[in-house]
Amino acid sequence: MTSRRTPPSSSAAAASGVRPAGRPERAAPARAVDVRGWVGGIRLSGFMVIMLSLVVLGAWVLVPTLGTYLDQKQRIAALEHSVQVTQKQIDALTAERQRWNDPAYITAQARERLFYVKPGEVVYLIDNDIDPAAQPVEQAPVSDTVQEKSSDWAGQLLRSVTGAGLAKTAAGSGAR
């Protein structure tokens, strides 16, 4: 004798929270929102309609005006900054003009820039534009006796040629 168990009924399974095997679970039907009931619950008085229309009209008038106001404030700030920069340039040029009114400054500039001299003066120009750190160090004095030294002459030649090609010279570093 075999006894079979019958599955519980769907109402009993739903009450107990157990789902029968083999049957998919159905979603609860979506509740429809009753828009008519929601809109019908709103009561508008004449005063409320007038106030709402005044708020919308005020926003419609003020938003473009506010945008224009902010744009003009930004332009004013940019122009004030431009005026400050221009004023600094004017101050620098005024100071430069005051210096050029001084005869001692004119003489110093003529001597420095154009190498002018007063009659009877002797000018010595020393053209030494190489940075002191780039100048070669002093070598030890050369001896009077000839000494033979074994060396790699090809490697020394290559180092000498590349060193001469990479060295800074007075003519190459922008001498006046």
- Give the model confidence (pLDDT) of 47-68 as tens digits: 888 999 999 998 888 888 888 9
Residues contacting residue 134 through CB under 8 Å, at least 6 positions apart: 167, 168
- Give the model confidence (pLDDT) of 71-128 as tens digits: 999 999 999 999 999 999 999 999 999 999 999 999 999 988 888 888 998 888 777 7
* Tokens encoding 141: 């004095």
Q: Quote the Cα angle for 54-58-61, to 5°.
A: 140
Q: What is the pLDDT of residue 175?
A: 45
Q: What is the pLDDT of residue 174?
A: 47
Q: What is the pLDDT of residue 80?
A: 96
Give 53: exposed, middle or buried? Use CB within 10 Å, 0-12, 13-18, 19+. exposed
* Tokens encoding 145: 């006796």
Mean pLDDT over the full length of the chain: 78
Query: Which has the higher per-residue pLDDT, 2 or 140?
Result: 140
| Inter-residue contact 176 to 138 (CB < 8 Å) | no
Using CA of residue 44, residue 46, residue 51, residue 54, what is the dihedral sign? Answer: positive
Rounded Cα distance, 162 and 124, in Å: 34
Rounded Cα distance, 76 and 79, in Å: 5
Per-residue pLDDT band at 28 (split at 50, 70, 90): low
Task: Return the SS3 of 1.
Answer: coil
Burial 142-170 (b: 16+ CB within 10 A, else e): eeeeeeeeeeeeeeeeeeeeeeeeeeeee
